[in-house]
Chain A
Amino acid sequence: MVEKTRTPMGRPQERQAPWKDPAAQAYIRIEGVSKKFGDFTAVSGVELNIYRGEIFCLLGGSGCGKTTLLRMLAGFEAPTAGRIFIDGHDMAGVPPFKRPVNMMFQSYALFPHMTVEQNVAFGLKQEGTPKREIAARVAEMLALVKLDGFARRKPHQLSGGQRQRVALARSLIKRPKLLLLDEPLGALDKRLREHTQFELVNIQERLGVTFVVVTHDQEEAMTLATRIGVMNHGRIVQVGTPHEIYEFPSSRFTAEFIGNVNMFEGRVSEDEPGHVLIDSADLGGRIHVGHGISAAPDAVVWVAVRPEKMVLSREVPRERFNAASGTIREVAYMGDVSIYLVQLDSGKTVRVTQPNTHRHSDRAFTWDDCVWVSWHESSAVVVTE
């Protein structure tokens, strides 16, 4: 069977990017939503549009408000302020059992006294669906998650991965338009995670469901999401595609939360529309950025450079800017790449990743080598906050 599959990595985002289409109607509209528990503000002033067919990841550390936001979508918590629209309907006062939303819980929340079959059938049973139809749809769902032979087992007789799939089948049986997933892969081991990740995306595409996923795992968010909303202290810090979030972080928080980054503090010394020069004591030199930035002259800014965008060399680089010399303090051989921790002459330690393109590594760098670290003027991102 020839089927055009869209892998999570390298999905054709441009072709279907409703968030770039001003005429597109958002499926979920979150308007100025805040939630307070006593004095504690869990979610504060969130504005967010999520479109049909998206896998939207809410990403953030523990206590950032991402789970509270998800629970407000499900109706388990009521917003203190603001409104939530799903498919154009205001959800204020709509109890959770009347929302067109199903949820996959972090703990899976399988009913321990029911078999796999009964667990999956639960949602349909509440609607009074005829028995024969329930049986057919349960069988169809179990086939989808590849649990055909397990219908009569109880949850405690299943492995973690199987339980996860029962939970998924149970939350999909009512054919919801919107599925909320709370740390869907959190309880699985690494190998199973990767496998399940791809399965989730496949199922999402086949059924055309909109997914809102909560996760603290940036890798999970990067591979699953069409777009990521990075959260910190109850606020959405940045919304963008995984690529945008990784390559164009808008703040130090996003840059440091997603992936590894070397952060150089500096002061703008030359501000031109085409380029900027930044004096950085961290680097012990000047940083040249190949585009204009929106910062006042003399303002304190941070320059973020990803480890894989840096180059190690023994010779002095030709460029005067974006380079510093230092000593290799640590080397970690990872197989495909090697990670070097280089202490610059300024005292700051930077992290550099170099691909291992040659099998015989006579020229490889090692401990206490004196090296130059440099990067291209288009590789750095300047953030002001």
Chain B
Amino acid sequence: MQISRLLLRRLGITGRGIVIAVPSVWLLLFFLVPFLIVLKISFAHTRLGVPPYTPLWEWTTEHALHLSLSAANYLFLARETLYLEAFLSSIKVALISTFFCLLLAYPMAYAIARADTRWRNTLLLMVVLPFWTSFLVRVYAWIGLLRNNGVINNLLTSLGLIHEPIVMMQTDFAMYIGIVYSYLPFMILPLYSNLEKHDNTLLEAAVNLGATPFKAFLQITVPLSLPGIIAGSMLVFIPAVGEFVIPRLLGGNETLMIGRVLWDEFFNNRNWPGASAVAMTLLLVLVLPIMIFQRYQAQDAGAGLHR
């Protein structure tokens, strides 16, 4: 027993090492390797064949390594306004969706956090419950609700409120409903876990000093919940930028989303290098601001300790 433990340690295998190794291997296999493959493809040229792109390096007949990196795909992205428009449009859709998610989620999270402890878990369960059905089924259910002879239009017609069905499908409205509906729990959960920790005596102190309950909420609760707001907004914004299924199923054809452009490049045009370049750019656009933000936050926290 003793000897085998020593042996393991000599080999560098310790409990701590194993615990860290599992997520590291996971990230390596399912994030870093695919990332590098996509990065590699984004610097290649298209060609007809399998795989549909040129290799980055090959051995020439003189046994020399021939490396061919091409920035053509990125230059093409920069030249072609379609991509810029798609990016901007995606970001706009993601921003609006995030805003409405926040608008809906904040009161819900606040109400759950303030609810009687007996009810909190039930309410949280109801927030998470939709996840137990397939995402696609839920989006299709919205089609059933929103289409011209769907539940909503039929109800309004039978009540005599409208005579012509309201066109909701294939509009931005339907797309926003779909996105906000699907991502709402991702906003509620981080907000709840933040709001639930708030100390009620802070609000009492604010009210005692002459702030009305609403002013106390604005000056105390909102700034203290900022980390929850940021976490929730990122969880909604990032996937919403690349969202493909919901705009495709609920939105109109004119809504240009980067996810759809990616799909078209990949499957319709078989332009793997072009699609990879789009994917890399998207990653850069999303990751850079987050990293800058986190760095800024870390600096702020550090400065706060030593000032």
Contacts and interface: CB of A to CB of B under 8 A. Distances in A.
A109 B207 CA distance: 12
Given A97-B210, A123-B209, 20 more contacts: A74-B204, A74-B208, A97-B208, A97-B209, A97-B212, A101-B208, A102-B208, A102-B209, A105-B205, A109-B201, A109-B205, A111-B206, A112-B224, A113-B223, A113-B224, A122-B211, A123-B210, A157-B307, A170-B209, A174-B209
Contacts of B211: 97, 122, 126
Contacts of A126: 209-211, 215
Sorted nearest first, the 9 A-B pairs with minimum C-beta distance are: A123-B209, A109-B205, A126-B210, A109-B201, A126-B211, A97-B207, A103-B208, A96-B207, A113-B223
Contacts of A3: none
Interface in A314-331: none
A16 interface: no
A174 B210 CA distance: 9
Contacts of A105: 201, 204-205
A109 B210 contact: no
A152 B206 CA distance: 20
B305 interface: yes
Contacts of B212: 97
Nearest to B209: A123
Contacts of B206: 111, 122
B162 interface: no
Interface in B213-228: 213, 215, 219-220, 223-224
Contact of B304 (A103, A157, A174): A157
Nearest to A182: B201
Nearest to A74: B208
Given A105-B205, A107-B201, A111-B202, A127 B220 contact: no
Contact of A107 (B199, B213, B220, B305): B199
A76 B210 contact: no
A174 B205 CA distance: 13
Q: Which of B199, B204, B208, B212 has the most CB of A within 10 A?
A: B208
A123 B205 CA distance: 10
A83 interface: no
A267 interface: no
Contact of A157 (B204, B223, B305): B305
Q: How large is the interface on B (under 10, 10 to 19, 20 to 34, 35 or more residues)?
A: 20 to 34
B137 to A, nearest CB: 43
Contacts of B220: 111
Interface in A110-126: 111-113, 122-123, 126
Contact of B204 (A76, A152, A156): A76
A102 B205 CA distance: 9
A153 interface: yes
Nearest to B203: A109
Nearest to A127: B210
Nearest to B215: A126
A152 B307 CA distance: 8
A311 B226 CA distance: 66
A153 B303 CA distance: 11
Nearest to A173: B209
A110 to B, nearest CB: 8
A109 B305 contact: no
Contacts of A112: 224
Interface in A62-117: 74, 76, 95-97, 101-103, 105, 107, 109, 111-113
Contacts of B210: 97, 123, 126-127, 174
A97 B202 CA distance: 14
Contact of B209 (A113, A122, A157): A122
A109 B209 contact: no
Given A109-B202, A111-B202, A153 B208 contact: no
A79 B215 CA distance: 25
Contact of A96 (B204, B219, B224, B305): B204
A154 interface: yes
A213 to B, nearest CB: 16
A107 B203 CA distance: 13
Nearest to A123: B209
Contacts of A171: 208-209
7 contacts: A76-B204, A107-B199, A111-B202, A122-B211, A126-B209, A156-B304, A174-B209
A97 B204 CA distance: 9
Interface in A37-85: 74, 76
B53 to A, nearest CB: 52
B209 A154 contact: no
Contacts of A152: 307
Q: Which of A95, A97, A157 has the most CB of B within 10 A?
A: A97
Contacts of B307: 152-153, 157
A109 B223 contact: no
Interface in A131-185: 152-154, 156-157, 170-171, 174
A95 to B, nearest CB: 8
A122 B219 CA distance: 10
Q: Which of A102, A109, A112, A153 has the most CB of B within 10 A?
A: A109
Nearest to A170: B209
B224 to A, nearest CB: 6
B304 A109 contact: no
Interface string A330-349: 00000000000000000000
A75 to B, nearest CB: 8
Interface in B187-246: 199, 201-202, 204-213, 215, 219-220, 223-224
Nearest to B224: A113
